[in-house]
Amino acid sequence: MVRPNYPIGARVRGKVRNMTTYGAFIELEEGIDGMVHVSDMSWTRKVNHPSEVLKKGDEVDAIVLDVDAQQQRISLGMKQLATDPWSDIDSFFKIGDVVKGSVTKITSFGAFVELKDGIDGLVHISQISEDRIDKVKDVLKPGQEVDARVIKIDREERRLGLSIKAANYSSEQLAAETSAYEALNRSAGNDMMNLGDILDEASKKE
């Protein structure tokens, strides 16, 4: 029986023994594994495969989320060890803030930028430059450091809307750009800006 040693909420440490497309098996002791699902690895990143975060043999800390004693199965979470930054996003970012970040992914209609605390931002193609851009990859490259301005905070999608071209705008220019960006989002519908879809599309192109 696994329950006595591993009560729900207990902090445990183990070694990554194996990975599947949906999670990682953590060996807690001989013959007893815990499973961390990809959705429980990060508050801020959409993890498509555990190898983006872990590698075999890594020592990891986790919290016991659930125990199925009959199946000898233990569900673990890694993100639960940290505070969800989105629960208090206003203390990190405000509309109009100029932020620094690193480009992580390029898509046909924008670029993802990782900011502090692993928060994801999306720069739509229309927000990269004053000049018309046909291909994002002609202007931005993964790993490139950029300055951008926060023009939208989307709590549902857990994503910031960023503008590189607005980084040096005056407050009047910024107000005009923010309202134009909102109108663009409404007319395009949410599909184009859906974080999960964009990441899936980006991962297929790699």
Domains of the chain: total: 2
Task: Provide the CATH number for the domain around residue 17.
Answer: 2.40.50.140
User: Which residues share a beta bridge with 15?
Assistant: 27, 59
The residue from 61, 81, 101 where one domain ends is: 81
- pLDDT tens-digit profile of 3-58? 457 889 999 999 999 999 999 999 998 888 999 999 999 988 878 899 988 999 99
Answering whether pTM is above 0.85, one says no
> How does 173-195 read in b/e, with b if 16+ C-beta sit within 10 Å?
ebeebbeebeeebeeeeeebbeb
Quick one: 132 and 196 in the same domain? Answer: yes
- pLDDT tens-digit profile of 94-132? 888 899 999 998 999 899 999 887 888 999 998 998 888
Domain that holds residue 169: 85-205
What is the DSSP pairing of strand 110-114 with strand 120-124? antiparallel
Given the structure tokens 């970040």, which residue do they identify? Answer: 101
Quick one: 98 and 132 in the same domain? Answer: yes
The gap from C-alpha 113 to its chain's centroid, in whole angstroms, comes to 10
